[in-house]
Structure 1
């Protein structure tokens, strides 16, 4: 009887599903066109739809068509649902789960028996992932999405139907939903005024703005984790494109292959497939009369922190870049204004990298939409034509990389349990697992390279399909120097040149260059669950929990504890507790029976255990409170301030944002204890204008209410705040604010002029040949200083050519201390630096005093893109400095 009921249930479900599919098929003729749904043709002049309107249309297509399935993939940082639209033949859409399983096997299994593999290759389809408009001012790709979807779900063209039989298009209609709405709403606000098409003030993301595609190693942002999960763990597509826009006065459309330098760890086959795909896009678009297509131009494929980090997971990945308009407002470009830039096209002329130049004239959003739609169709065609080869290549590469891991050093990476910062050790393991890396743990002690590793240490074999990624992010980077001509000018990288997670996070990782197969074959087991350090339960009776200052998470515990109403103190002297020495600066969170639920909330969020203490009578400490923090953020797409907000929010550090134009009306002395200046240009902060390298001031493309600067009066107020005991923290170019003659207004209305005892000498060093595009450099730190609590005596910092300081003997009520300086030699740890020797013994972190005020100036970003965890403590300690004479 039970089997009959089960059969009836299955039959009823299948019958209902078939009816739904038939209903969809009947509705194809009733599908609304994009123009009918939006009230205008996408791409029309001065017309834009927002994210909700876009998703509403795709949901209509999902309801009406058997060729499209819309699936949620997570939420944006501001809570909007994100989706993939699967577009393919009806048969493929009905079989998505089976095809997904084939993808997984081809991507991850190097040991498929040949008959089985042949079967998978015959049944499998190429999955082509397209992510649109992650940069929200690059609006064209998302505006083209409805046209692409409508064409493919309604087409009766036999060629396109064949593409859909062989390929599954996975279209993320908008990578950045929050930013899309910000940009669209801002455009509509000013449409019809003289400010139509001006830039959106602020950043088009909760935190990162344009930097959201620099996050695909560290995966700090929720929307990026949603995208990365597609190719790391869920769907394993074989091809991926990330669709962008670029400057307006050059080529119309940039397609692969990219320019040198390229990543050393990527198999040659990936680059060759990108050439085939790119050549077909260029050919197909030019054939359709779409001119100005370039290849090997401007952008390189060296760094993996873009979403094309999928390349390091054996996905043929690339960017396309369309020339921009003013969002939806057309622009006219004179032929004399068209230029070639940098790598691959030094002149805007017919060349092998652009055989059919665009002549100039009107350029519209509809043009961008046309190029975007045509490029998607071209990739579908290529993927269809080469379906079997592409699928086979994916599994061949899986086999090859696993074999490389067994035959080419390094063979393993080992992460010892004993670390200076245990919390970042745990974070590193979590991060690698998010990337789809298989992580193992030693189940017994082993001796490798004359070093004993303990049971519980983490071991990562490189005989994995994602070997290129593992090696890329765990080794130190050595930039592949290439020249335009023999012995000529070096081809410079597009972005930073270091992403070594051990150095960025401050975690010791050992590289094992001998195979040791006999020693290790049975010495480790895979970590399947969420990794955590072994912890004891919260005791029933304890006076306090101590969190060691060496851990970044301890700062989070302290800040969260205060937020939850717990009493928090900080050790003012090192102490021996429970046979363990706790360093000066460690945090004490006291037990309170009335707050035990709050304490449990805190413990649940922290990834390392505290030390529970029953008696703290001999401990010297001071009660801690969080200072009132002002975070200075300009309206001019201030990404570094956005990253700083992210760090503060992640560590439960409250703050208030203050804009430069608000300085004159802000009572800093009354309202704040600390003012933080993330990296920004002095000209932007002071006057709201951009100062070029030639010294020319440019009015930015923003409505005037967003281009106000601090001004002289605002700066005077800020320095009076410092004089009265305030703390100023500044890094990067913002530190130039405090160089030269400054002014304080005294209570009796008199003014005092002074100069702080430092200056920025980076320009002098650059004339000596210093060039550092973003690398990890070694610095020596002053021991036992409040700013360096919890730090080793030397560390790595991310340096990209920022300020270098020279201090001087102070006058009057001023003082200075060099907190961090570059060593005499062996400065570069990872990345690329020309003439590093000019940095020898130069200062990069300085503490200054004026009256009761303190300034901490960093020549580097201590929180760069939320990826330089090893220097977070320097920032937190600076914020927690004790006031002078308190």
Structure 2
């Protein structure tokens, strides 16, 4: 053998050895974690998982590890980009192609097809969003391992044709849940039950309800990758749990779907769903249910999966059973007969964690394999959907919805010239005037669907001169975070005869993500959905209506005709900051508007620095433009420094005045605020805790034991009870029993969490709350916690009842009245302290919320002061309200004196998921002490 041949052989063998050594250096999950993914009674922490991600990324040429941001608890959140080494070298180009096709701007079909041929399918797969759904995180680990270690033809094709974005959705939650589960040394005793706190710092399970506003850091991290950076054609969101008697629920989903969707998105879900169930069936894995076999629909926006639907992405959700502790698939006889929902039923059996991992891996491979086979079609179709949206937004378009169908039917019904006899209908059909086989003449369609005033808008204008422009900019930023194209006026302009100032924002509908634009501005029109005619309603998957512009009280104009102006397009993903201003000479002090939410941040910063702040109960007169409840700040260098910063950072408009106001003022003092929470964590309480931190209100979280300990007035000035804190009025024994049956045992609870145990009870808690009120405390109740009014025997009653034939009173049944989460309009008395800064009418989030009827003399005697009420029989603004006429004249919110204190009862969810920013002031106003008895300053400066 020649020296050259020996050298070549040596180099070849060395290369083989080095390649093999590199492959061997990628640790398997067993080698890293000490167990196989799916082993019973075993879970990994996020600390261990993060270390594994880093090892895999360092050892594999198929992986790029990307830090997408920090979590609310300060951990790094990672996305692993997995593809072939060749593809990873050209990620920037493939991202550019994905963005261009998704946004569909300025492309011809031929150009789009060429890009689709060049590009790679972008597939998002996540895990762990709901951390107690442990299959999600563990399948993500196993999927990564399989993709970096396997060399079979299917895997190699996937790596060649796809770019996979494998993303951890909730690092904090995995750490919390795993540590809780693994704390028990004996494996068979391990349990996920009785987790002592929320698995997302503030909002727990609601982390899957934050994706159209993106308040949380994790949501922002994920949203930027989905809607701004990568815009994948497919996203797959893993969840638990499947319906009893099945293994998992998956696509396609039950009706209704949202009417703004492009049909290609809906049928795209059908296609992926077919690929997923076919793979399981081919692998003899039964138990996949779909369509009407589960509760999951595609109506809602705001979830990790559902928000992608409004961006032309094929968003997939599966809800699977299983966990580290083995369980049983129960016997549900109705699910054993094969049908269109469940073609391959599963039989009752013992179920192990590994089975759920195996199913999840099969489902992932079905999705990734579909993307590899239909790569160019997926890329072109997302372009086609975007192009369709641009075209629809560029011309007169009429969107169909249940109300439009009802209007068509009404037009026919109310037409005095319509044919009434069967023979007449037959004659009309014979001559082509009525469709054969039934139906109506097309003129009734044209009456509605060609009416100019019923056109879809070409765009929306958000004026810069509205009272709370800073909150309007928060709304704009919610759109920015979801990849919406925003324009801003560089000069004053006029549209449809109305003048708008420079700085106003414009959101046009001729853009790819038009479905999301419409969904954020326009009302949702949920169909009347009942189990059968005259039967009970079918509960929506989540909310029925959520129009964010309404919930945030953003003032905007719908523009029906095409328009243009001195507008500049803002770069995608570029967050906006409102420009505040300091106006006027400030020799006497400064005025801040009570209409502006951010004023409360500035006031809290001033109070924390020892600056005196006052409120003007009557404003400065009707001609002044200064409303009741406006803030006045005495002039001082310290005040100016804080307000200068607020103008810059918060976008506040601050007005300097030459002298102190001559009208009555009330001094503002901070209060000692307590916020109720419970063992395991309350999501509504967590949202309010986050809100108070954002608005710089110092507060303390308290638990039922703190309430029961008494002496509340010595510790606090105001206590906030969010929904589900105060139980309904029942027998005392029932309250105690209810508390006992849901509470973990004290001896099995770690000592640090024992102070959180307990429930609010009629026997122990209500008397202490009453004593707090009578001693001069303030209590704010929201939603179902307005039950406190009944415990205190105030002169109010449930307005939504009826008398039975036997003469007893009962709540209205669902067949007559049902309003799931929707947006309704109420009227307010904005001169009251509680409603300062509010308009005379506002939109509220209403979820079968309490509504009150006052006793005839309650107002006259000063026992109750109405704050908000329904003055119409049609208050629905967005969503679904069956029997809404029952609301007319009902009281939605009131204040009642109790001893020396005050109870505030707000039936609607005024802080709902930190989305209802238009009603934040109904809480914030109650968090300052402005008692006229001890802190009034009359005629200051006179």
Q: How far apart are the structure 2 equivalents of 1:685 and 1:284?
A: 52
Q: How far apart are the structure 2 equivalents of 1:670 and 1:85?
A: 53
Q: How far apart are the structure 2 equivalents of 1:596 and 1:835?
A: 53
Residue among 869, 874, 877 paired with 2:922:
874
Alignment of 1:226-625 (within 5 A): 226-246=221-241, 249-296=244-291, 297-308=294-305, 309-325=307-323, 328-335=324-331, 338=332, 347=335, 349-407=337-395, 408=397, 409-443=456-490, 447-481=494-528, 491-516=538-563, 520=564, 522-528=565-571, 530-536=575-581, 543-575=588-620, 580-593=624-637, 598-616=642-660, 618=662, 620-625=664-669
1:496-515 CA distance string (max 9 Å, x none): 12221221111122211223
Q: How far apart are the structure 1 equivalents of 2:886 and 2:586?
A: 57
1:235-286 CA distance string (max 9 Å, x none): 1111001111025733211111111110111111111111111111111112
Q: How far apart are the structure 1 equivalents of 2:730 and 2:707?
A: 10
Alignment of 1:451-850 (within 5 A): 451-481=498-528, 491-516=538-563, 520=564, 522-528=565-571, 530-536=575-581, 543-575=588-620, 580-593=624-637, 598-616=642-660, 618=662, 620-680=664-724, 682-683=726-727, 699-700=741-742, 702-704=744-746, 705=754, 707-711=757-761, 712-740=763-791, 742=792, 755-762=793-800, 764-767=810-813, 769-808=816-855, 809=857, 815-850=863-898
Q: How far apart are the structure 1 equivalents of 2:904 and 2:15?
A: 65
How far 1:401 sits from its partner (Å)? 1.2
Partner of 2:46: 51
What SS class does the counterpart of residue 79 from structure 1 fall into?
coil
CA contact (8 A) 1:688 1:707 kept: no
How has the CA–CA distance of structure 1 residues 527 and 591 changed in structure 2, closer, same or farther, with 3 Å as cutoff? farther
Q: How far apart are the structure 2 equivalents of 1:814 and 1:843?
A: 16
CA contact (8 A) 2:336 2:346 kept: no
How far 1:807 sits from its partner (Å)? 2.1
Q: How far apart are the structure 2 equivalents of 1:405 and 1:812?
A: 54
What SS class does the counterpart of residue 737 from structure 1 fall into?
helix
How has the CA–CA distance of structure 1 residues 267 and 703 changed in structure 2, closer, same or farther, with 3 Å as cutoff? farther
Q: How far apart are the structure 1 equivalents of 2:738 and 2:621?
A: 59
Q: How far apart are the structure 2 equivalents of 1:186 and 1:255?
A: 29
Asked which structure has the greater CA Rg, the reply is 2
TM-score (norm 1): 0.89
Of 548-557 and 190-199, more deviation after overlay is shown by 190-199
Q: How far apart are the structure 2 equivalents of 1:687 and 1:26?
A: 71
Instruction: For structure 2, list consecutive stretches of 5 or more residues without a partner in the other structure.
Output: 1-13, 398-455, 747-753, 802-809, 935-942
Q: How far apart are the structure 2 equivalents of 1:635 and 1:687?
A: 23
How far 1:540 sits from its partner (Å)? 10
How has the CA–CA distance of structure 1 residues 657 and 762 changed in structure 2, closer, same or farther, with 3 Å as cutoff? farther
Q: How far apart are the structure 2 equivalents of 1:419 and 1:854?
A: 33
What SS class does the counterpart of residue 480 from structure 1 fall into?
coil
1:605-656 CA distance string (max 9 Å, x none): 3122211234325354232111101111112441111111111111111111
Q: How far apart are the structure 2 equivalents of 1:562 and 1:22?
A: 70
Q: How far apart are the structure 2 equivalents of 1:85 and 1:684?
A: 48
Alignment of 1:101-250 (within 5 A): 101-113=96-108, 116-172=111-167, 174-190=168-184, 192=186, 196-246=191-241, 249-250=244-245
How has the CA–CA distance of structure 1 residues 148 and 527 changed in structure 2, closer, same or farther, with 3 Å as cutoff? closer
CA contact (8 A) 1:561 1:602 kept: no
What SS class does the counterpart of residue 107 from structure 1 fall into?
helix
Q: How well do the aligned residues superpose, as a CA RMSD in angstroms?
A: 3.0
Of 213-222 and 115-124, more deviation after overlay is shown by 115-124
Of 262-271 and 451-460, more deviation after overlay is shown by 451-460
How far 1:431 sits from its partner (Å)? 2.0
How far 1:857 sits from its partner (Å)? 0.7
How has the CA–CA distance of structure 1 residues 486 and 766 changed in structure 2, closer, same or farther, with 3 Å as cutoff? closer
How has the CA–CA distance of structure 1 residues 78 and 636 changed in structure 2, closer, same or farther, with 3 Å as cutoff? closer
Q: How far apart are the structure 1 equivalents of 2:199 and 2:731?
A: 23
Q: How far apart are the structure 2 equivalents of 1:22 and 1:790?
A: 74
CA contact (8 A) 2:128 2:169 kept: yes
1:19-41 CA distance string (max 9 Å, x none): 99997885112211101100011
CA contact (8 A) 1:249 1:339 kept: no
How has the CA–CA distance of structure 1 residues 330 and 403 changed in structure 2, closer, same or farther, with 3 Å as cutoff? same
1:143-166 CA distance string (max 9 Å, x none): 122211111111110121011100
What SS class does the counterpart of residue 669 from structure 2 fall into?
coil
1:279-312 CA distance string (max 9 Å, x none): 1111111222322111113101001111120111
Q: How far apart are the structure 1 equivalents of 2:336 and 2:730?
A: 37
How far 1:554 sits from its partner (Å)? 1.0
How far 1:569 sits from its partner (Å)? 2.1
Q: How far apart are the structure 1 equivalents of 2:228 and 2:823?
A: 30
Partner of 1:12: none
What SS class does the counterpart of residue 908 from structure 2 fall into?
coil
Q: How far apart are the structure 2 equivalents of 1:515 and 1:294?
A: 45
What SS class does the counterpart of residue 419 from structure 1 fall into?
coil
How far 1:361 sits from its partner (Å)? 2.0
CA contact (8 A) 2:739 2:758 kept: no
How has the CA–CA distance of structure 1 residues 828 and 813 changed in structure 2, closer, same or farther, with 3 Å as cutoff? closer
Partner of 2:430: none
Of 219-228 and 553-562, more deviation after overlay is shown by 553-562
What SS class does the counterpart of residue 41 from structure 1 fall into?
coil
1:194-226 CA distance string (max 9 Å, x none): 673313123111111111111111111110011
Partner of 1:5: none
How has the CA–CA distance of structure 1 residues 111 and 487 changed in structure 2, closer, same or farther, with 3 Å as cutoff? farther
How far 1:457 sits from its partner (Å)? 3.1
What SS class does the counterpart of residue 393 from structure 2 fall into?
helix
Q: How far apart are the structure 2 equivalents of 1:637 and 1:156?
A: 46
CA contact (8 A) 1:547 1:610 kept: yes
Q: How far apart are the structure 2 equivalents of 1:484 and 1:473?
A: 29
How far 1:820 sits from its partner (Å)? 1.1
Q: How far apart are the structure 1 equivalents of 2:475 and 2:105?
A: 26
How has the CA–CA distance of structure 1 residues 818 and 45 changed in structure 2, closer, same or farther, with 3 Å as cutoff? same
1:752-786 CA distance string (max 9 Å, x none): xxx22223344545237210011111111124111
How has the CA–CA distance of structure 1 residues 195 and 29 changed in structure 2, closer, same or farther, with 3 Å as cutoff? closer
1:25-65 CA distance string (max 9 Å, x none): 85112211101100011221111111111111111110000
Instruction: For structure 1, list consecutive stretches of 5 or more residues without a partner in the other structure.
Output: 1-18, 341-346, 743-754
CA contact (8 A) 2:481 2:575 kept: no
CA contact (8 A) 1:414 1:460 kept: yes
Alignment of 1:858 with 2:906, yes or no, is: yes
TM-score (norm 2): 0.84
How has the CA–CA distance of structure 1 residues 437 and 301 changed in structure 2, closer, same or farther, with 3 Å as cutoff? same
How has the CA–CA distance of structure 1 residues 483 and 628 changed in structure 2, closer, same or farther, with 3 Å as cutoff? closer
